Amino acid sequence: MKRSEKIITNTVKIAGSSSILFILLIFVFLVREGLPALGEVSLKDLFSLRWYPIEDLFGLLPLISGSLVVTFTSILIAVPLGIGTAIYIGEIAPKNVKEILKPTVEIMAGIPSVVLGFIGIQALSPFLREFFNLPTGLTALSGSILLAMIAIPSIVSIAEDALYAVPSSYRDASYALGATKWQTIWGVVLPAARNGLMTAVMLGIGRSLGETMAVMMVTGNAATTFSGLKSVIMPVRTMTATIASEMGEVASGSVHYHVLFFIGIILFIFSLVINISSTSVQGKSKQEKGQVIS
């Protein structure tokens, strides 16, 4: 009896800590395969401007800036749309509209990114080329728009949960003071749901940063140097697309192989920073709330 209890407790404990173990194993693997790159390629070469691995040119800057440009632009598109949708679903829409809208957004989350990429090649990029009169439609912007479509469903569902968690007494109090619906949403509900909304944004950033397939299909994959705002309408090559398209060819143990894993470490650090900043935002606002109550 006692023994079986012990076994069950331990099993649950192992299941619970397994995700930590997996993360650790992944990190150890990344470090073990990626860090040798630092010994094989000098830092000056790693942070140079040209990526052409078959001639041993391993400049990572174009890839890092490519990922950042695509992610940042996609967030600029996805956050207003996603949070707006969540506000409409949660606060404004009548019940029957809400019942159609919510599952529709969830269906959007289920569209495979390859399908989006295909639409991107066939429809979006020719349209963007003609609309903005660009040399080519395969640009960071096309990737960002697809990524926004991928990030929006997760932003909407988390943001909507955050709005739902705001007690209705807050809204009632605001209406009782004579505030309009918009004043209530802007002045009361949104600030109260702030940390949930921040989590939604952070999750959206993480989703955009890590997405590979759609981006690889429409951004043109040219490792161009960052050139300010213009980079948004230029072809770029992201870190994820680089790993995905080059990992298959690379001989394990070669310099190129180690550098690809080193890119993996950079991606890992990026997502770690995003996660830590999102939890620190949450922690901070909890503290503030605590002070108000006391």
Partner 1 sequence: MRRWTRTILLTGILILTACGSSTSEENTQTGSSTYIENKGSDTLVNLALAWAEQYQEEYPEVQISVTGGGSGTGFTALINGTIDIANASRQIKDLEIEQAESAGFEPHEIIVANDAIAVIVNPENPISELTLDQVSRIYKGEFNNWSELGGEDRPIVRLSRETNSGTHVYFLETVIRLSDEEDTDIFSADTLLLPSSEGIISEVSSNPNAIGYDGLGYITDEVKTIALASKEGRAYILPSAETVIDGTYPVSRGLYMYTRGEPDGIIKDYLDWILSDEAQEIVTELGFVPILD
Q: Which residues bind partner 1 (CB under 8 A)?
A: 25, 28, 49-50, 52-55, 57, 62, 121-122, 125-126, 129, 135-138, 216-217, 220-225, 234-235, 237, 245-246, 248-251
Planar angle of CA 82, 152, 81, nearest 5 degrees: 30
Looking at the Cβ atoms of 28 and 173, the one nearer to partner 1 is 28
Q: Is 216 helix (H, G, I), strand (E, B) or coil?
A: helix
Looking at the Cβ atoms of 56 and 172, the one nearer to partner 1 is 56
Looking at the Cβ atoms of 159 and 218, the one nearer to partner 1 is 218
Looking at the Cβ atoms of 61 and 111, the one nearer to partner 1 is 61
- Closest distance of CB 112 from partner 1, Å: 16
- Closest distance of CB 209 from partner 1, Å: 20
Looking at the Cβ atoms of 161 and 246, the one nearer to partner 1 is 246
Looking at the Cβ atoms of 56 and 106, the one nearer to partner 1 is 56
Dihedral sign (CA 37, 38, 43, 47) = positive
- Closest distance of CB 249 from partner 1, Å: 3
What is the spatial distance between Cα 244 and Cα 124, in angstroms, rounded to a whole number?
A: 23
- Closest distance of CB 89 from partner 1, Å: 37
Q: Which amino acid is at 171?
A: R
Residues contacting 51, CB < 8 A, separation 6+ = 57, 58, 59, 60, 62, 63, 223, 237, 242
Residues contacting 121, CB < 8 A, separation 6+ = 138, 217, 218
- Closest distance of CB 92 from partner 1, Å: 40
- Closest distance of CB 206 from partner 1, Å: 24
Give backbone dihedrals phi and psi of 85, rounded to 5 degrees, phi first: -60, -45
Quick check: 12 and 236 in contact, CB under 8 A? Answer: no
Looking at the Cβ atoms of 89 and 257, the one nearer to partner 1 is 257
The percent of the chain in helix, strand and coil, each rounded to the nearest 5, is 80, 0, 20
Residues contacting 114, CB < 8 A, separation 6+ = 213, 214, 217
> What is the signed CA dihedral for 127, 130, 132, 135, rounded to 10 degrees?
110
- Closest distance of CB 27 from partner 1, Å: 13
- Closest distance of CB 149 from partner 1, Å: 20
Strand residues in 27-148 grouped as ranges (E):
51-52, 57-58
Looking at the Cβ atoms of 195 and 231, the one nearer to partner 1 is 231
Neighbours of 62 (CB within 10 A): 22
